[in-house]
Amino acid sequence: MMNTNAVPVRTESPDYLATLLQLGQLLNSSLELKQVLETAIEQVIAFVGAERGFILLVDVETGRVWGEAVRHIDRAALEATLTGNDLSNRAEISRTVVENVLDTRLPVLSHNAMEDPRFADRQSVQLTHLRSVLCVPLIAQGRLLGVIYLDNRVRTGLFTERHLAMLEAFANQASVAIENARLYDNLRRSLEERLRLQDELHRQETRRLALEEASRLKSDFISFVAHELRNPLTTIRGCVQTLMADHENTLPQKVREEFYESIEADADRLLDMINELLDVSRLEAGRPLTLAIKPVELCPLMEKLARRHRFYKHFTDRHEIVTQFAPGLPRTIDADEDKLNQILSNLLSNAIKYSPNGGVITLSAAPDGAQHVLLSVSDQGVGMSPEQVARLFRQYERVERDEIKNIPGTGLGLYLVKHLVDLHRGEISCESTPGQGSTFRVRLPVSTSEGTGSSSDS
Ligand code: ADP
């Protein structure tokens, strides 16, 4: 479609080559394609004396068209015209010219579109008062990418064959740049998508493993608990049956008392375990444990715990419990007495339980600066490796080792202890050496008046 319909009026011979070279350099620059096209159209408009111009791009996959580097044309109106949605009939440009180039893939050069037999009868051409028009296709590897469009609504015969040749040369280079950018964009998008999918897979896998681990821990836990509840019950049942069968009262009083003590100790053990389970289920249900804070006298509380634990089921005559109180220890600390009892009692029973060969168990308290106290429970028992220590305060976590495989437990004790220490705004830590023993340290604030507040237990 090369009917130019009139003789070009421009005669000067501008430096086409230099301009083309400049445009080529621009296209090869490291700037963003959008920015390159903006600058390029600016230069082309200035060079050929066009009034308006734009680059129209077509998405090869979706067929969507849009204007890029739009100069002196209302972008929204332009896109409405191009997509055939121009209801206002403002006809910013003549769609006929652009469609002509898109359909034929041939350039259009018209010196006066209003009188050009190809377009003269088109209403849009008349409405826009189109005079000089230059429009070339953008084609790369046989694919139509869009058009470059220039016009002037005042002057006729503005564009020459040389302008056309120059614009076509520029269009060739621009097509390659646009196609490269599109390919690069596709590549980047598919890489991003792949990374996103990989990420998602990884996340799902991690979630799956965590769920598996949680469900494994929970089912291990259920079998431990079943075992743990059954053992004391069996003892209680056995004692009760023996006592009931003794109609003649033949059992010596001492044996009888031992049976009662045993029943009481196992009933206590069951009660402790059930309370622990209730605390944990309360936490799991998202209902926090609350504290009833008041001044607690430390030494008497610890002495009482030490005395009581000498009757603990696993305490043997090879065990010894000692208490140590460092000078300067505050007489009272602000704490929930029951919970503090629970914390120390748990640590103390563990120290006894995990020292199957006996040894000295030390329960001590010392000031730690003016604001804190450090309570510790140390034993000379089986100890733990650093990896075992690292998993210590997790729920249901029982460290599996041969030397303690017959020692009963639910793996809930330390999880609750940690929670209770946290509630007191304290810290708990453990130092341990396999075969040599462990020391658990609980650091608690002396006073909770700075913000901890007290709340009543429910
Ligand atoms: P449980 O004693 O019911 O198993 P805990 O939460 O109290 O649960 O303890 C978790 C694990 O930590 C125990 O299974 C045990 O292996 C280890 N542990 C706790 N205290 C000690 C200790 N003093 N010495 C050695 N190991 C301990």
Q: Looking at residue 316, what DSSP letter applies?
A: -
Contact (CB, 8 A) for 134 and 28? no
CATH topology of domain 294-445: Heat Shock Protein 90 (3.30.565)
Same fold: 16-179 with 181-284: no
Looking at residue 299, its pLDDT comes to: 96
Closest ligand 1 atom, residue 414 Cα: 6
pLDDT value, residue 401: 66
Atom of ligand 1 nearest to the CA of 415: 6
pLDDT 10s digits, 89-143: 566 777 888 889 999 999 999 999 999 998 877 887 888 889 999 999 999 989 9
DSSP 376: E
Helices (H) and strands (E) in the chain, counts: 11, 12
pLDDT at 87: 55
Ligand 1 pocket check: which of 229, 275, 362, 399 to mutate, most ligand atoms within 8 Å of Cβ?
399
Contact 338, 409 (CB under 8 A): no
- Residue 64: predicted pLDDT: 84
The pLDDT assigned to 33 comes to 81
CA–CA separation, 336 vs 426, rounded Å?
Answer: 13
**pLDDT at residue 378, as a whole number:** 98
Query: Measured between alpha carbons, how far is 155 from 111 in angstroms, rounded to an integer?
Result: 9
Distance 398 CA to ligand 1 centre (A): 6
Domain 16-179: CATH class, spelled out: alpha beta
Instruction: Judge residue 53's burial from the number of C-beta atoms within 10 Å of its C-beta, 0-12 exposed, 13-18 middle, 19 or more buried.
Output: buried
What's the rounded Cα separation, in Å, for the pair 279 and 277?
A: 5
Q: Are the C-beta atoms of residues 364 and 375 closer than 8 Å to each other?
A: yes
Q: Whose CA is nearest to atom 8 of ligand 1?
A: 411
How much distance in Å is there from the Cα of 416 to the middle of ligand 1? 12
Written as one letter, the residue type at 90 is: R
Q: Dump pLDDT digits (tens) for 14-50.
A: 587 788 788 888 777 767 788 888 888 998 998 889 9
Residues with CB under 6 A from ligand 1: 350-351, 354, 379, 381-384, 392, 397-399, 404, 409-415, 438
Q: Which amino acid residue places its CA nearest to atom 21 of ligand 1?
A: 350
Residue ranges per structural domain of the chain: 16-179, 181-284, 294-445
Return the CATH class of domain 181-284.
mainly alpha
Quote the pTM value: 0.51
Residues in the chain with pLDDT values less than 70:
1-14, 30, 85-91, 395-405, 408-410, 450-458
Residue 363 Cα to ligand 1 midpoint, Å, equals 17
Separation in Å, CA 169 to CA 49, 113, 161: 18, 23, 12
